[in-house]
Amino acid sequence: MINNAGFSLSGVFESISREKIRELFDVNVFGVMDVTRAILPHFRKNKAGVIVNISSRAGLVGMPMISSYSATKYALEGFSESLSYELASRNILVKIVEPSGGVTSTNFSDRMRREYAPDSMPGDYSKFVEHAGAVYAGMEARRKTGADEVAKTVYEAATDNTSRLRYFIGEDVGGFVQAKRDMTDEAFGEFMRSRFRPKQ
């Protein structure tokens, strides 16, 4: 079973309504949980099964301007990892596929741009948002992960018969994932702030 439904919201946290964030969690987290709950009796009866959840680099590294989306993917990561230990006792595998920096050949980024609501943003964020936008534009220009590559990785996760949990796809654009793995929390925090801090 593959849980792939998801969308993102962009903008500073203050500009995104509670209702939109609830909608985001309903799709990205509770939807996954509902579908998983529905399939588990079938998998337990057959004493086997594979659940593949599509996450994101934003579930590994918190990123500015997508805090609510990142929160849903962190939740998905924690749910999937915890569930994998429960379901191992039933011979059911849980896998997490983590594309990096968005995927070409989908309408994911187009919808995220449509959901963006700059009119509701407090004005004193403007310099930060402008700089962060430039950082993301540079990252998007380097994005190379295609939908076909994600499909191949999903197939691998579903059929490799291993207990491997995470499958990271694509280039670590910006080096954020590797930096988080290699640095102390303090050093990583400064690394991130330095990337997104507007020049005075």
Q: Which residues are catalytic?
A: 69
Hey, what's the torsion of the CAs at 74, 69, 101, 35, to 10 degrees?
Answer: 70
* CA–CA separation, 10 and 121 (whole Å): 11
Judge contact between 60 and 52, C-beta under 8 A: no
* CA–CA separation, 108 and 113 (whole Å): 9
How far from 16 is each of 20, 64, 190, CA to CA, in Å? 7, 13, 26
Residue 170: which of 193, 191, 148 has the closest Cα? 148
Structure tokens at 134: 């430039």
Classify 116 as helix, strand or coil. Answer: coil
Instruction: Give first-to-last CA distance, the chain, whole Å.
Output: 49
